[in-house]
Chain A
Amino acid sequence: GDSVTQMEGPVTLSEEACLTINCTYTATGYPSLFWYVQYPGEGLQLLLKATKADDKGSNKGFEATYRKETTSFHLEKGSVQVSDSAVYFCALSSYYNQGGKLIFGQGTELSVKP
């Protein structure tokens, strides 16, 4: 079945460091791909999305490119801030799933130190 695999956390970085969180997927057909973020004590918020191969999603300085050839959707940011500390979830939604459910990776906790 469809699945998402993320790099293990936690990831600890200093402010202004570069961030990459790896995400790979297995899916039938051509899924839509998402990154969600969960700040401490809050729910899941959509960070960015991409709906087809080579699309780049971006928001708040974060970017991710839908790579069909490597079945990947890695999250990147050039310079992280303390306020980026959160848990990041990669997810996919399959066109063939009429109910529209999301399948999540296990989440990667990011901690940014001043």
Chain B
Amino acid sequence: EPEVTQTPSHQVTQMGQEVILRCVPISNHLYFYWYRQILGQKVEFLVSFYNNEISEKSEIFDDQFSVERPDGSNFTLKIRSTKLEDSAMYFCASSVAGATSGANVLTFGAGSRLTVL
């Protein structure tokens, strides 16, 4: 079964450092997402991406975050200058269609755990 793959599975970084989390969505999917889950809390939406641009972002997704689809397969989340509160599990997801399909089913990766010291 097709799957979304994420790397690294765990990254430890110092506060203020830049981090890039990588995702390979399912090949025929057109919509891409990043979510995060702070330990013990809700899964929170960060950003959605379609047709090489951001289609929606949450208030969490401030200027220190950026996303990119540098080639036909990867989808990356960059955190420019990490803060302690960025420590979380970051999930990438993709879907073949958007909300207008009637039942937008997202396929999630296993997550990248980011620990900021």
Binding site for B on A (CB under 8 A): 32, 34, 36, 41-46, 49, 51, 89, 93-107
Contact = CB atoms under 8 A, between A and B. Distances in A.
A25 to B, nearest CB: 14
Interface of B: 4, 31, 33, 35, 41-45, 48, 50, 55-56, 91, 93, 95, 97-111
B95 to A, nearest CB: 6
Nearest to A6: B42
Given A45-B108, A95-B102, 8 more contacts: A36-B108, A46-B107, A89-B43, A94-B99, A95-B99, A99-B56, A104-B42, A106-B42
Contacts of B93: 44
Contacts of B110: 41-43
Contacts of B101: 100
Q: Is the interface of A mostly helix, strand, loop or mixed?
A: loop
Contacts of A45: 108
Nearest to B45: A101
B43 A44 contact: yes
Contacts, number: 74
Given A42-B110, A51-B103, A98 B43 contact: no
B109 A43 contact: yes
A93 B48 contact: no
A101 B41 CA distance: 18
A93 B104 contact: yes
Residue in A44, A49, A95, A107 with the greatest tally of chain B CB atoms within 10 Å: A44
B42 A97 contact: no
A99 B42 contact: no
A44 B44 CA distance: 13
A107 B55 CA distance: 26
Contacts of B55: 98-99
Contacts of A44: 43, 91, 93, 108
A99 B106 CA distance: 12
A107 B91 CA distance: 15
